Structure 1
Amino acid sequence: MVAITKRPQAVLVDLDGTMIDSAPDIAAAVNRMQAQLDGPPLPLDTVRGFIGWGVAHLVRQVLGHAPGMRPTDEATALALFERHYLDCNGRHSTIYPGVLRGLTMLRGLGYALACVTNKPRPYAEPLLDALGLSPCFDTVACGEPALPLKPHPALLVAACRRLGAQPVQCVMVGDSGVDATAAGRAGMPVYLVRYGYHNGAAPDAAPCNGYIDALDELPALLGHAPAALSASG
C-alpha cells in the first residue's frame, strides 16, 4: 500500500463493479452463449464472481463451471460470447449511486480523470457512452493486446502517461484486490468501494488506503474542505 504524501493530480477509476453494475449484461451474454453450447444458464451472482480479470478469464471460468455442455474449445466459446456481448452491452447496466456526482466533483476540483478497465475497448467505450459517462474522462485505458491486464500495472501506468502524471501523483479507485494489486505494483495509492464484485473475495480483504461507500466520498478523503466540495458538486 502506497501512502498519500500530497494531494494527487489525477484519479484513475475502474469500470465494472466500481462505476457501473454491468453484470446483468454480461450474464445475459454468457447465457446466450450457454444456450448455443447446450449448457445450463448460470445465475447472475455466479457470473458476477467471474468479472474483473478480463473477457478470456470470464469465458474460461464459465466453461469450467457448467457441466454437461457440448464440447467446445475456448476460442469458439470466446467468439460466441463476444458476439452476444456486443448486442447486450449497456442494455441492463446501471450506474452505482454517487458515481456521477463524484466524477463531477472531482472534475470541478481540477483533477484529471481516467477510466482504467480490463474490459476491451469495443465494449468499454460504448458502455461509457450508453450511460453518459464518457465526457467525464480525459482518457480510457482498456484491455487490449498491447498491454497486460490488471493486476499487472501496465494499464495504470499507461493512463498516467496519457494524463501527464507520475503514478505516485495519482490515486486509483476500484472494487477488488485486482485493482489494489495493480495500484500497489504501479506505486499508486488506492481506495476500494465496499460494493462491486470483489472477484469472490471478502469486500475488505484487499490492502488499500481506505474504503468508500460511494465515489462522491473520495474528495473529502483527498483533503477537500466542505466549502470546496459544495462548490464543485
Structure 2
Amino acid sequence: MARDKTDKTDLTPATPTAEAPSRAEIEAGLDRNVAGILTHSAGKKTVPGPHILWPLGPHIVSIGQAEILTLTEEKAAVLVNLAETNPHAFDAASYLAGMLFAIGHIPGAPDCPISLRSFGAQALTGEIQRPPQPGRPRAGDTALRLWKYSLCRYMAECTPLPLGRNREEKHDTTLGFSACDAVAESFTRCGHHETYGQLVSLCYDVGHADLRALAEAVGMLDFSEED
C-alpha cells in the first residue's frame, strides 16, 4: 500500500490571544476614568430615596431642558403607602410630588398621580411628618458610591482581576491585586482618599445590598459591548 504523502500540517492561522493588560496599563486607564468621575460627580447627589424609588420603575418625561421623574398611579400608591413608615420612601415621595407640583402649569407636563398629589398636600400642610430615622442617617454621597461600586464590578468583568482578594475562584495572583485594590488606589491617587476595605464593603456587605440593587436597577452594571 502506498504511503499517504498528504501533508497534514495544520496551516490554519492561529487565533491571536489578547495579552492581559499590565498593572501599569490598568492603573493608567483607571486614573483617567476616576478623574472624570470625580469631576462629573462633584457636588451631585441622587434624588432622595433612590434605592426605594428606582426599583418601582419611574419613567422620565422631558420638559424643555429638564428631565422629570414620574410614576404611574399604581406605583405612586405603593410609594405613598411605604412613606407612612419608611423615611426614605417619604423623601422620595416628597421629591416627586414637589417636582410635579412645580411643573404642573407647563403645557405637556405629566399629571401628578392622585396619591402623590394628596401626599404632597398633606406634607406641605404638616398633616403628615417624616417617619423617624432608625440608626444613622444615610450619607449624601450615594451617587459617587454608585460609581465606585460599578467601576469595581467593571474591572472584575473586563480585566483578569478578581473583585476582591481571595473571595472568589477567579484570582489572578500574577498582578498581585484585586479590582477593589485597583479602584481604591486610583481614587486615592486622584485626590479622593479611598481604602480597599471600604470598597470591599460596598461590593459584598449586606448593609450595602440596596446600593448594589440600585446599580442594577438603573443599568450601571451592563458591561456588554455595543455594536
Using CA pairs under 8 Å that are at least 6 residues apart, name the structure with larger relative contact order, 1 or 2. Answer: 1
TM-score, normalisation: structure 1: 0.27
- Structure with the largest fraction of strand: 1
TM-score, normalisation: structure 2: 0.27
